[in-house]
Copies of this chain bind each other. A is one copy, B any other.
Amino acid sequence: MTAREGSRNLLVGVDAGGTKVAVLVADAQDAALGQATYPTDLSGPEQTLAGIAAAIRVTLAVAGVPLDAVAAVGLGVPGRVDPETGVVRHAVNLKWEALPVGDLLGGLLGVPCFVENDVRAAALGLQRHPAHAGVAHLAYLSVGTGIAAGVILNGRLHRGAHGMAGEIGHMIVDPAGPRCECGSRGCLEALTAGPAIARMGAQAVAAGAATVLRAADPLTAEAVYRAAGAGDAVAQAITGQVGRRLAQALQQLIMTYDVERVVLGGGVARAGDLFLAPILAEFGRLRAESALAAEMLPPEMFHLLPPDYDAGTWGAVTLAREGVNRVHSAVVDSTEGGPQREPIYTG
């Protein structure tokens, strides 16, 4: 039996990463009906997709919700996405290359599927968090294996001419810096993302520095922040340098976009205050030097991602909602003068 169209009022948000697939089922009032996380199946591009479809089906079943009550699925993906067509151009961690993920996943489930970059989806998710709701100009900076920003301008997600807006991991901040995977030298990502922090730790160890990092195995960015928190001077020098460079990049982001709120998240930011404090210290230094900096970089504008909040899946729910509403307006537009259908989703 197929549900009446009017009863398709649930939304599914999915955040698919290189290690796990997080699924959230929400109703029209934005209440969570079910939430679950599954390991990512990386045995092949189609297996990964089938695994995501299975994760959605299981989450729905556990929540006691039939698939045909779902109006749409939103999917956040770590990579480059064309949100109009649902094609994922590259998603290195998922081994996807030029894959029409929206159509394929939609076909597997029989439900429309809308795809977006995961950092952008998380920025959308922040819009409905009580701490950030109503902030019209917000940047979400994700610092993990890579670095990217999702940017809300005038209350709307900004995508840019090629869907590349906010790819500030590849801003060149030190033309004499280390080579980035993209080929350029001194990209922000090559200087301050997780692998760069781990590399700086390893270099200090190799240079014979007296540091507890010598015993860290594996020597990750997390280990560097933990050592800094325990008072290790070598680790503190590294986190201090990362903080100064991230502060510089954020200053550039703020002077460019004029956002009023910055939220920091991603794997490296999970170090919490150990991650945030060196960034805030650098902003303090800048404020002391310049009235303009004091005005544009007030300490209260910088926040860590709320640790108990899954911005990625909630943003994917928003993506699903916007997608359904967009498709529906197009239907209404194309039948102008004809019978007007009720909105299929108006949450």
Interface residues of A (CB under 8 A from B): 136-137, 149, 153-154, 158-168, 170-173, 175, 180, 182-185, 244, 248, 251-253, 255-260, 286, 289-293, 295-296
> In the bound complex, how far is the Cα of B73 from the Cα of A213, in angstroms?
65
Determine whether the beta carbon of A182 is less than 8 Å from that of B255: no
Are the C-beta atoms of A292 and B182 separated by less than 8 Å? yes
Q: Is the CB of A172 within 8 A of B252?
A: yes
A286 contacts across to B, CB distance below 8 A: 172, 184
13 CB < 8 A contacts A-B = A153-B153, A160-B258, A162-B260, A164-B255, A165-B256, A167-B258, A170-B255, A171-B251, A172-B248, A172-B252, A173-B252, A175-B248, A180-B290
Interfacial chain B residues near A164, Cβ < 8 Å: 255, 258, 296
A259 touches B182 (CB 8 A): no
Interface pair A184/B292, CB less than 8 Å apart:
yes
**A168–B255 touching, CB < 8 Å:** yes
How many protomers of this protein does the assembly include? Answer: 2
B183 touches A161 (CB 8 A): no
- A153-B158, A162-B296 are known contacts. Are A252 and B252 too (CB-CB below 8 A)? yes
Known A-B contacts A136-B161, A182-B292; the reply to A253 vs B256 at CB < 8 A is yes
Beta-carbon contact of A175 and B258 below 8 Å: no
A132 to B77, CA, bound (A): 34
Enumerate chain B residues within 8 angstroms of A256, measured Cβ to Cβ: 149, 165-166, 168, 171, 252-253, 256-257
In Å, the complex CA distance between A129 and B211 comes to: 61
Interface centre among A161, A163, A185, A244 (most CB of B within 10 A): A161
Q: Is B161 a contact partner of A251 (Cβ separation < 8 A)?
A: no
Residues from chain B with a CB closer than 8 A to the CB of A180 are 290
Given pairs A160-B257, A180-B290, A184-B290, 18 additional interface contacts (CB within 8 A) = A153-B158, A153-B160, A161-B259, A161-B260, A162-B260, A164-B255, A164-B258, A165-B256, A167-B255, A168-B252, A168-B256, A170-B255, A175-B244, A182-B290, A182-B292, A184-B292, A185-B289, A256-B256
A137 touches B161 (CB 8 A): yes
Q: Which residues of B contact A149 (CB under 8 A)?
A: 256
CB distance from A50 to the nearest CB of B (A): 31
Contact B293 A162 (CB under 8 A): no
- Please list the 10 inter-chain residue pairs (A to B) with the smallest Cβ-Cβ separation, ordered nearest first: A160-B258, A183-B290, A161-B260, A165-B258, A137-B161, A164-B258, A184-B290, A182-B292, A171-B252, A183-B289
Which residues of B are found within 8 Å of A295, using beta-carbon distances?
A: 162
